[in-house]
Structure 1
Amino acid sequence: MTPTQALPPQVTVVRHPLVQHKLTLMRQKDASTGEFRRLAREISLLMAYELTRDLPLEQTTIETPLETMQAPLLAGKKLCIVSILRAGDGIAEGMLDLVPSARVGHIGLYRDPATLKPVEYYLKLPEDIGERLVIVVDPMLATGHSAAVAIERLKRAGATQLRFACLLAAPEGVGVLTAAHPDVPVFTCSVDRELDSHAYIRPGLGDAGDRLYGTK
């Protein structure tokens, strides 16, 4: 896919004005580590509203200070947020501000220098992941290979309800992920122009992990 082509139907760009405003602030090269981290957390919370707008509800009986009533509560098991290490933690933390009861899983991947393919080095998930809506988070969807491998691994672990969320995506990454997992909705704040020769998203915001944790 190219920037001029229509996005696949399972891709949602979150265009809320506050999200777009905060993303612009994050993109600026002079944003401090603390500011970048705070903005990532705030955007992630706002994205979580979009990701969870169709969660099922059930009616329950409660007592208000005045009377008994039927009122809605979330039905069944709650969410599981799975962070692709390390930068995914910067997104997971913001979502947990909105859904603090969510379970959290982690998957660690590195790129093999010979094959350039993602290799799993860490996996820790809730035992009941198959009963939960799983939101996989990573700030950047660049080549799409790590995200596709992570989702495939989660499916093998029993996950059946999956969504992927990122701050920025490249057209190349969107194409790879949606081709590999056409059943998984993708949420992003922007689909940027392209990848460069080093697989950085352009215009992008730099290395999200380094900017989140001040390691560069």
Structure 2
Amino acid sequence: MSVSYMTHPLIRHKITLLRKEDTSTNEFRKLVEEIAMLMGYEALSDLETQDITVKTPIEESVQPVISGKKLAVVPILRAGLGMVNGILALVPSARVGHIGLYRDPETHAPHEYYCKLPDPIDQRQIVVVDPMLATGGSAIAAVDFIKKHGGQKIKFMSIIAAPEGVDALMNAHPDIQLYVGCLDRELNENAYICPGLGDAGDRIFGTK
């Protein structure tokens, strides 16, 4: 079981700005992208590399590049879309899949409505992204779908998480690596993270 909580002051600072009720849609969207990039820098520190020979203006030199099949970024729709460009800024060659889930307003259980993954998914390092890890239901379902399609090396990135969601996800999938920007206090009776930042999807896309 591997859970990493971000401690970098820039990440914590930007998350504080995300929480503010008066942060505009445009600024919120930019902050989510920036946080995803900063978290991605940490989460991708173990990417495998191989040496190639390059010719500099001075001489030939043996230097490292990322090896094997490239990264696959898989956002959980719709809020996860806000984190994709932050990862692509680090690894522009990454492929992007999509998993569509919606949460039942009464039971809070996740329901799938779309799943499209890069092929071959089994040979890629997969980073699943969703700004909020609340109950863990959607995260568990997303990882379930990826594993059913053959995905093996899976990381999950979430900007804000509740303890209940972290426990549920890691109990269901102890073999994945989880990266959390900030662990919040708890879920309320409506399964919203407290203190949280509201509905990330609504704030990214300007909907209510």
Q: TM-score range by the shorter chain?
A: over 0.9
Q: Following the alignment from structure 1 to structure 2, what is the Cα–Cα distance between the partners of residues 97 and 57?
A: 18
Match of 2:96 in 1: 104
Match of 1:26 in 2: 18
Asked if 1:54 corresponds to 2:46, the answer is yes
Partner secondary structure for residue 69 of structure 1: strand
Match of 2:75 in 1: 83
Where structure 1 has 5 or more consecutive residues not aligned to the other structure, the ranges are: 1-8
Match of 1:17 in 2: 9
Aligned counterpart in structure 2 of residue 162 of structure 1, from 154, 167, 175: 154
Match of 1:202 in 2: 194
Give aligned pairs, total. Answer: 208
Partner secondary structure for residue 97 of structure 2: strand
Q: Following the alignment from structure 2 to structure 1, what is the Cα–Cα distance between the partners of residues 49 and 86?
A: 23
Task: State the superposition RMSD in angstroms.
Answer: 1.2
Q: Following the alignment from structure 2 to structure 1, what is the Cα–Cα distance between the partners of residues 72 and 52?
A: 23
Q: Cα distance, 1:92 vs. partner?
A: 1.2
Match of 2:109 in 1: 117
Where structure 2 has 5 or more consecutive residues not aligned to the other structure, the ranges are: none
Q: Following the alignment from structure 1 to structure 2, what is the Cα–Cα distance between the partners of residues 124 and 28?
A: 34
Q: Following the alignment from structure 2 to structure 1, what is the Cα–Cα distance between the partners of residues 104 and 35?
A: 32
Paired residue type of 1:146: S
Q: Cα distance, 1:117 vs. partner?
A: 2.5
Q: Cα distance, 1:113 vs. partner?
A: 5.8
Asked if 1:72 corresponds to 2:64, the answer is yes
Partner secondary structure for residue 11 of structure 1: strand
Paired residue type of 2:55: E
Q: Following the alignment from structure 1 to structure 2, what is the Cα–Cα distance between the partners of residues 172 and 12?
A: 16
Aligned counterpart in structure 1 of residue 143 of structure 2, from 151, 154, 175: 151
Q: Cα distance, 1:93 vs. partner?
A: 1.8
Q: Following the alignment from structure 1 to structure 2, what is the Cα–Cα distance between the partners of residues 196 and 30?
A: 22
Deviations 1:63-98 (A, max 9, x none): 111111111111111100001000000011211111
Q: Following the alignment from structure 1 to structure 2, what is the Cα–Cα distance between the partners of residues 150 and 56?
A: 25
Paired residue type of 1:208: A
Paired residue type of 2:100: G
Q: Following the alignment from structure 2 to structure 1, what is the Cα–Cα distance between the partners of residues 105 and 195?
A: 26
Q: Following the alignment from structure 2 to structure 1, what is the Cα–Cα distance between the partners of residues 131 and 6?
A: 14
TM-score computed with the length of structure 2 as normaliser: 0.97
User: 2:184·2:193 contact (CA, 8 Å) conserved in 1?
Assistant: yes
Paired residue type of 1:123: C
Match of 2:37 in 1: 45
User: 2:108·2:191 contact (CA, 8 Å) conserved in 1?
Assistant: no
User: 2:25·2:203 contact (CA, 8 Å) conserved in 1?
Assistant: yes
Q: Following the alignment from structure 2 to structure 1, what is the Cα–Cα distance between the partners of residues 25 and 61?
A: 47
User: 2:76·2:142 contact (CA, 8 Å) conserved in 1?
Assistant: yes
Match of 1:132 in 2: 124
Q: Following the alignment from structure 2 to structure 1, what is the Cα–Cα distance between the partners of residues 22 and 103?
A: 29
Deviations 1:154-178 (A, max 9, x none): 0000100001001000000001000
* Cα 1:183/1:166, change in 2 over 3 Å: same
Paired residue type of 1:36: F
